[in-house]
Structure 1
Amino acid sequence: MEKHVAVGVDGSAESRAAARWAAREAVARHVPLRLVHAVDWPLDPVLPGLGKQDVDRWADRALTETAQELHERHPGLEITSRCPTGRPAAALAAEAADAALLVLGSRGLGGLVGFLIGSVALSTVVATDTPVVLVRVADDPDGPGGPGSGAPAEVVVGVDVQEAGDRMLAFAFEEAQRRGWPLRAVHGWKMPPAYAYVPFFDPDNERDIGRSVTHMVDDMLLPWRHKFPDVAVTTSVFMGSAGERLVQASQGAGLVVVGRHLRRSPLGVHLGPVTHAVLHHAAAPVAVVAHA
């Protein structure tokens, strides 16, 4: 049996949107949903005069109200609640350890597309190996234009022919198949640095490299096409910034899937420039999948 879906809940509009998104995902996967409210105690001096009982009541109310709403929307969905104590990022990461997916809410950037990534969400993303999906209020599946409205959508995944992205591709293809959506694989490439010093550049070289990279992307996707024959796959291979093109592709997407390295550098875990750009500017829910 597949693992449950977990979602961070704090009573905010962002967390309610994330909870609705997570509930639909749990129903689609036929697994339970776990609501998690992480309590960082003590809160003083941030909220002076607020006692532990007040915090507990606040947490209970957030969990109860969210569970009631989701039960009304999905009567057959099994919903449980957890209220761990400790630093929110660490608590959420711990709760995600036995989950198939962790969903978090994130504030939108007002009139701009994209996310305002708080320290808790960012710290949680790099603290867990479980896939994490960030959802804004605008991504509410039951809102206008959301995935629940019947609007056309697709799964967009950023691929890198230099990386072993099996976990990321498996996640992307499974999500596309589960939703009945097409999948678009996006890959950006750059000319080798040595070409910056070539006085007379032959445009045929660029075309040859582009064709070679396209073949590499096709070879990378071939086993996944065979494994998921019902998923319609298109590719977008170009010379330029992958992050920029993924952000553009997110405009018509229902989900954008990007990766991050599992391995750590001496300075800690880094998301990478492409994932960082997508997290801050995508116009759709973003799934971050750790890979080797």
Structure 2
Amino acid sequence: MTGEAVGPAGPTAYGARADPLRLSSEVPRMRIRRYVVGVDGSVPARAAVRWTIAMARRLPAPVTLVHIADDEWGAVGSQLIDEVDENAKQLLADDFEYARTLGDGVTLRAELRRGSPMAELAGCSDEETLLVVGTHKTGFHYGRAYGSRSLQLANLALGPVAIIPEVASRMRRGVIVGVDDTPAGRSAVDFAADLAGLRKCELMLVRSSESRVRFTVDTDDDMSDWLLRRDDDARAALVTAVTRARERQPDITIRSRVVRRPAGSALTELARSAELLVIGDSRRAEAELGSLGAVAYDVLLNLSSPTVVVHAPIPVAHGGHTDVKGESDVIG
């Protein structure tokens, strides 16, 4: 491996491999300029590396492995800091060599940074960068959440974030996407359709008909009528989303499903047998910790499958009016 200085903070970079593998001339409309994987030598991080290399084989782009030495070590002596840095370099080198065994033909490099891990990773994000991290969390004990750094990263990132649990994937089939009426929801449908096209698998669109508004009724018939109206509204939203996905990827198989449960718990359950779950979350004017929407928050705390959080396209101002940047073909 060769080393070089990169970036304003001067992180260490390890090597590169040229000529990314081109498997197909039929490239989906999504644009991914690079993949950035957070690594820390853990088993979940290795799962994230494997997932990313497989993704890069389908949609070629450079893969950068990033390890962040937590800046909390700044409070200790310089000798210990040097030891931590040396350990971090060795850890990154080991993960890089592991990625090389998987990624023949995929462009690979690695960066060592120092700072707050999730903030540093989020700093690598843009609309055409897919951030990938591993997690030990799964949804096998639903509701028993003890916190997750992936929540912080998904909120801070500008572009899509993939969270990869250490779960068996060989028997999983299809891509699932949650449907809502927001710009982020439409971007999620686009991303999911393109992924289904890449993977040549089925796409399932899911919409919850549950209402957050309390409805007081006098008879069971009134309640039944109200539930049916909610179902009809959900089906109408699915028709629009299916049309969007079909126009984007005309050759994939698409199914749709209305559920009467909360969207977060329904998506978590359905995704147990899926290759990938895609959810949208609206982009705020400024990122705020803990400001993820309820569905994204619920899904990430009870993860049951590889999951991608997609944000709304970032508005771009042009002389007194605001356009949505590339809503039809830019994921982020």
1:50 & 1:99 partners in 2: Cα distance?
39
After superposition, where does 1:1-292 map in structure 2 within 5 Å? 2-43=32-73, 51-97=80-126, 99-109=128-138, 112=141, 120-138=149-167, 145-146=168-169, 149=170, 151-161=171-181, 165-191=185-211, 193=213, 195-196=215-216, 198-200=217-219, 201-202=221-222, 203-263=224-284, 270-291=291-312
1:265 & 1:26 partners in 2: Cα distance?
30
Matched residue of 1:108: which SS? Answer: coil
CA-based RMSD:
2.8
Deviations 1:236-266 (A, max 9, x none): 1132311121111011111111121212589
One-letter code aligned to 2:196: A
- Counterpart contact for 2:210–2:230, Cα < 8 Å: no
2:207 & 2:267 partners in 1: Cα distance?
9
Q: Which runs of 5+ in 2 are unaligned?
A: 1-30, 314-332
- Quickly say closer, same or farther: Cα 1:136–1:239, change in 2 above 3 A: closer
- Quickly say closer, same or farther: Cα 1:181–1:50, change in 2 above 3 A: farther
| Segment drifting more, 161-170 vs 11-20 | 161-170
Matched residue of 1:165: which SS? Answer: helix
Q: CA deviation at 1:159?
A: 0.9
Deviations 1:94-148 (A, max 9, x none): 112375200011113596479967554322211112111111222xxxxxx42xx
One-letter code aligned to 1:19: V
Matched residue of 1:219: which SS? Answer: helix
- Quickly say closer, same or farther: Cα 1:160–1:116, change in 2 above 3 A: same
1:11 & 1:174 partners in 2: Cα distance?
31
- Counterpart contact for 1:14–1:137, Cα < 8 Å: yes
Aligned length: 281
Matched residue of 1:133: which SS? Answer: strand
- Counterpart contact for 1:256–1:284, Cα < 8 Å: yes
- Counterpart contact for 2:283–2:312, Cα < 8 Å: yes
Matched residue of 2:215: which SS? Answer: helix
Matched residue of 1:51: which SS? Answer: helix
- Counterpart contact for 2:63–2:106, Cα < 8 Å: yes
| Segment drifting more, 3-12 vs 81-90 | 81-90
- Quickly say closer, same or farther: Cα 1:53–1:257, change in 2 above 3 A: same
Structure 1 partner of 2:15: none
Q: CA deviation at 1:42?
A: 4.4
The percent of aligned pairs where both chains have the same amino acid is 26
Greater percentage in helix: 1
Q: CA deviation at 1:222?
A: 0.4
